[in-house]
Amino acid sequence: MSQACAIVGIGQTKHKKRRDDVSLPGLVREAAQRALDDAELTWTDIDAVVLGKAPDPFEGVMMPELSMADALGAAGKPILRVHTAGSVGGSTAIVASNLVRTGQHRRVLTVAYEKQAEGNAQWGLAGGKSGGMGAGGIFAPWMRSFIARTGSPAHIGPMVAVKDRRNAVKNPYAHLQMPDLTIEEVMESPMLWDPIHWHESCPSSDGACAMVMTTEDLASASPRPPAWVLSTAMRSELGMFPGRDPVRPQAGVECAQAVFEAAGITDPLEQIDVSEIYVPFSWYEPMWLEGHDLVGHGEAWKLIESGDTDIGGRFPVNPSGGVLSSNPIGASGMLRFAEAALQVRGMAGEHQVDGATVAYGQAYGGAAQYFAMWVVGSTLDAVAAKG
Amino acid sequence: MSEQPVVAASDSEQPVVMMDYFMHLEYREVVCPIVRRYADALMDGKILGQISPTSGLVYVPPRSYCPVSCEWLGEDHLVELEDHGVVTNFTIVTPVQYYGQEETEPFAKASVLLDGPGGMLGLQDILDLPVDELRVGMRVEAVWLPPEERTKDEIGNRSWGSVDGAIRGWRPTGEPDVPAEQFLDKVY
C-alpha cells in the first residue's frame, strides 16, 4: 500500500534556556542544516518542508511557517504546518513520513521548534491573569490519581527525574546537565504542584529538531545508515468530558495498539530495544508505560524501581535525557522521534543503547488528549528479525 | 487595545538583547443561546447544566451537545444543579511569579462533583481551609459572590471560566467525608 520511508538526516540545536544568539528562523535553520549535513544533502535537494510547533501565542509569532519559508529553503516548494499542541513534533514527523510513503515527495525536510525565552508560557497559559496553574497544575491531579490507583511509592517519580538527568549528561545537546542530582535532593526541592517537585519538572528551553526523510531507492545512496519507519499512529480525544479517564486516555491506549500492531510487535517489552517517551513531569514515565499497555496495571513502578528503564536495563526509556532535561515544547515530540531513529542508526553517541535495532518514539499533547507514535528499525524487517 | 512595554531592570554591563512586551486585548464573544441561559442563571445564583438522555452524562456549563452519544442537547435537557458537592481530586499550586501573578502563597485547586444530578467542576478554589488539610472526599459548598459583584465576563463558548464570575470558591461544610475510594475514576 505504501512505500518505505527512511530517515537519512537528523539534526538538533543545543537546547538552552535562552538562545539569544539566533533569531527564530536562525534557530530552525541551525537544526535543519545539521540534518542536511548528516544526510550530505543541500537545500536544493529537498522537495517539501513540514513544520511543527506548539501554539503560536507562545512566542506571539502567528503562522511562522509563512515567514520562515525562506529561511527553510522552501520558497517555491510545498510547506505544511502541523498543529497538535505538545505532541506536534511527533505528528509533524508522521506527516512528513506520509508524504514519502504515499509517493507525494521523494525528499522531505521536517522541522519543529520552540523558543520559550521569546515568550512566557506561564503567562500565556494563565490568559495573562493571576492564579494560573501552568501545565503541571493541570497534570498534577491525574498523577495523584495514578499514584492512588497503583500504590506507587513516592520515590518513583524522583527516581525517574534522577535517571533522565543522568542520561542527559551523556547527551551534549541536552539543556539540563545535573550529573550529581540525588533522589533526596529531588524530594527536598520545592513542591510546585503536589505531587510534582521542582526537580521533577521539565525546564523551559529554546531549541529545534529536524529530520530528512526519503524513499528506499534514494536512501541507498545515503552516506550513513538510515532508520526505517516501521509504523506510525496518531489518535486524539476531547480534552474534557464527564467520564473521561485522563490518567489512562483511551486515545493513548488505541494509538499504542495501532502502532505496535502495524509494526508486527506483539510483546513490546521484549521486542522494543529502546523508547523515547514524552515525560515532561517525572510521573508520566510510569503513567505512559501503563497507559500504552507496555506493562500491566500497577507494574510500571516496579520496572522503574528495579532499574529496568535505565540505559543498559531491560527496557531503556529516554536515554537522551528526555523532556525532563530539554523542553523546547514544539520540538520535544520530534526529539523523541529523532532520538529513537538515532538509536537504531547506532548514532546516539554516549547515550547509545547497545545493539538497538527497534525503537519506539512517543509524544503527547494538550490535556493528554493528542498522541503521536512511531516505531523505527535499523532494517525494514528489524522486528521480524528478532524472531 | 492597550499595550504596555515592560523593560526589565538590566545589568548595565550587559547589552539589551531582548525586551518583554506584554499586550492586553479585550474582546466580546457572542455566546450561543444555551450558554447565555447558563450565564443569566448564574447571575441569579443558580448553576445550570445539561443532561444527555442517552449517555446520562451531565455537562456544566451546558454545551448544546453530548460528545459521547453524539446528540444535540436543547433547553429540554437543562437541569438545575446543586451548589454543594464533594472534592474528588486536587492539587496544591506553588505560584510561579510570572508577570501579573498576584498569588504568593501555595493555593489549592480542586475538582468538585456536585450532589444530586451531578456535574463536575474542575480547577475550583477552596476557601477557609489550610491547603494541607484538603482531602479527597471532603464535602464543600459554594461561596457565592454578592449579586452586585457577579460578572459574566469570563463566560465563553469554550466552557472556560465556568462559575468563576459568580462563585468565589468552595468551603468545607464540616459534614463527614465521603470515602475517597469512590472517586478514583472521577479525576475531573
Q: Tell me if A360 sits within 8 A of A354, measured CB to CB.
A: no
* Interface pTM, i.e. ipTM: 0.85
Number of Cβ pairs closer than 8 Å across A and B? 103
**CA-based nearest residue in chain B for residue A150:** B184
Of B16, B94, B99, which to mutate for an interface test with A (greatest number of A Cβ within 10 Å)?
A: B94
Higher pLDDT, residue B13 or B155: B155
Overall average pLDDT of the B124-136 stretch = 94
Would an 8 Å CB–CB cutoff place A148 in contact with chain B? yes
Would an 8 Å CB–CB cutoff place A245 in contact with chain B? yes
Q: Rounded to a whole number, what is the distance in Å from the CA of A128 to chain B's nearest CA? A: 7
Q: Given an 8 Å threshold on Cβ–Cβ distance, is B100 in contact with A126?
A: yes
Q: Given an 8 Å threshold on Cβ–Cβ distance, is B91 in contact with A194?
A: yes
The predicted-structure confidence for B73-116, as pLDDT tens digits, reads as follows 999 999 999 999 999 999 999 888 888 889 899 999 999 999 99
Overall average pLDDT of the B8-22 stretch = 71
Question: Among A168-172, B11-15, B32-36, B62-66, which is the least confidently predicted range?
Answer: B11-15
Measured distance CA(A278)–CA(A284) in Å, rounded? 8
What does pLDDT average to over chain B?
88
Measured distance CA(A149)–CA(B64) in Å, rounded? 33
Overall average pLDDT of the B10-24 stretch = 74
Short-list A160, A156, A376, A168, CA closest to A273:
A376
Q: Given an 8 Å threshold on Cβ–Cβ distance, is A193 in contact with B118?
A: no
The predicted-structure confidence for A48-83, as pLDDT tens digits, reads as follows 999 999 988 888 899 999 999 999 999 999 999 999
User: What is the percentage of chain B residues whose pLDDT exceeds 90?
Assistant: 61
Report the pLDDT value the prediction gives residue B53, as an integer from 0 to 100: 95
Nearest beta carbon to residue B98 from set A60, A132, A238: A132
pLDDT band, very low/low/confident/very high, at B6 (cuts 50, 70, 90): low
Q: Take residue B62 and report the three cell numbers written for it.
A: 451546558
Would an 8 Å CB–CB cutoff place A22 in contact with chain B? no
Report the pLDDT value the prediction gives residue A182, as an integer from 0 to 100: 98
Domain A5-120+204-219: give its CATH code: 3.40.47.10
**How would you label A85-113 residue by residue, b for 16+ Cβ within 10 Å and e otherwise?**
bbbbbbbbbbbbbbbbbeeebbbbbbbbb
pLDDT band, very low/low/confident/very high, at B1 (cuts 50, 70, 90): very low
**Which three-class secondary structure state does DSSP give residue A229?**
strand
Residues of A in contact with B188 (CB under 8 A): 240, 242, 244, 246
Would an 8 Å CB–CB cutoff place A243 in contact with chain B? yes
Q: Given an 8 Å threshold on Cβ–Cβ distance, is A131 in contact with B103?
A: yes
Residues of B in contact with A140 (CB under 8 A): 91, 93
Report the pLDDT value the prediction gives residue A1, as an integer from 0 to 100: 46
Higher pLDDT, residue A284 or B184: A284
Short-list A284, A371, A273, CA closest to A324:
A284
Measured distance CA(B19)–CA(A54) in Å, rounded? 22
Domain boundaries, chain A: 5-120+204-219
Nearest beta carbon to residue A145 from set B20, B55, B187: B187
Given a cut of 70, whether residue B159 has pLDDT beyond it is: no
Report the pLDDT value the prediction gives residue A135, as an integer from 0 to 100: 84
Of A120, A145, A238, A281, which to mutate for an interface test with B (greatest number of B Cβ within 10 Å)?
A: A145
If you ran DSSP here, which 8-state letter would residue A317 be given?
A: B
Alpha helices for chain A (secondary structure H): 24-39, 64-67, 88-101, 121-125, 134-150, 156-168, 183-188, 216-219, 250-263, 268-271, 284-291, 300-305, 322-325, 329-345
Q: Tell me if B24 sits within 8 A of B55, measured CB to CB.
A: no
Report the pLDDT value the prediction gives residue B7, as an integer from 0 to 100: 53
Q: Which residues contact B133 (CB under 8 A, 6 or more apart)?
A: none
**CA-based nearest residue in chain A for residue B154:** A127
Positions in chain A short of pLDDT 50: 1
Q: Take residue A106 and report the three cell numbers written for it.
A: 521523494
Residues of B in contact with A124 (CB under 8 A): none
Higher pLDDT, residue B164 or B2: B164
Report the pLDDT value the prediction gives residue A80, as an integer from 0 to 100: 97
Residues of B in contact with A245 (CB under 8 A): 185, 187
Q: Given an 8 Å threshold on Cβ–Cβ distance, is A245 in contact with B185?
A: yes
Would an 8 Å CB–CB cutoff place A75 in contact with chain B? no
Whose grid coordinates read 533522565?
Answer: A164
